[in-house]
Amino acid sequence: MQKWYLYIVRCRNGSLYTGIATDVERRFAEHQANKGSKYLRGRGPLQLVFKKQIGEKELALKIERLVKKLPKLKKEKLIKTDAGLEELLSVKSA
């Protein structure tokens, strides 16, 4: 079973991009090389600001969708403190 991670990237303009990957460093390098997500192309320099192991891909996809729906203020709080992530992770029992 592969371990999936949730990650958040901050763009030059301050916007936040949320994604999942099994190898965050490789995926972030792709983003920096303008490969992968179209959203991030031309928005550098990019900064990896959050990385957290989630578990199985299915759960990581659910958590990613939930985080993407959060307002920016809550994403910033998540980045600083992991606040709210445990609540999102409890989705696996739901």
Determine the distance from the C-alpha atom of residue 84 to the mean position of all C-alpha atoms in its chain, rounded to a whole number.
14
Of 45, 50, 44, residue with least CA distance to 83: 50
Domains along the chain? Answer: 4-93 (3.40.1440.10)
Instruction: Answer yes or no: are the C-beta atoms of 7 and 54 closer than 8 Å.
Output: no
Q: In terms of Cα–Cα distance, which of 1, 36, 7, 5 is closest to 22?
A: 5
**pLDDT at 81 (0 to 100):** 87
According to the model, what pLDDT value does residue 57 have?
Answer: 96
pLDDT for position 86:
79
Q: CA 86, CA 18: separation in Å to the nearest integer?
A: 17
Supply the pLDDT for residue 25: 97
- pLDDT digit of tens for each residue in the chain (94 aa)? 789 999 999 999 999 999 999 999 999 999 999 988 899 998 989 999 999 999 999 999 999 999 999 999 999 999 998 777 777 777 654 4
Residue 28 structure tokens: 């972030």
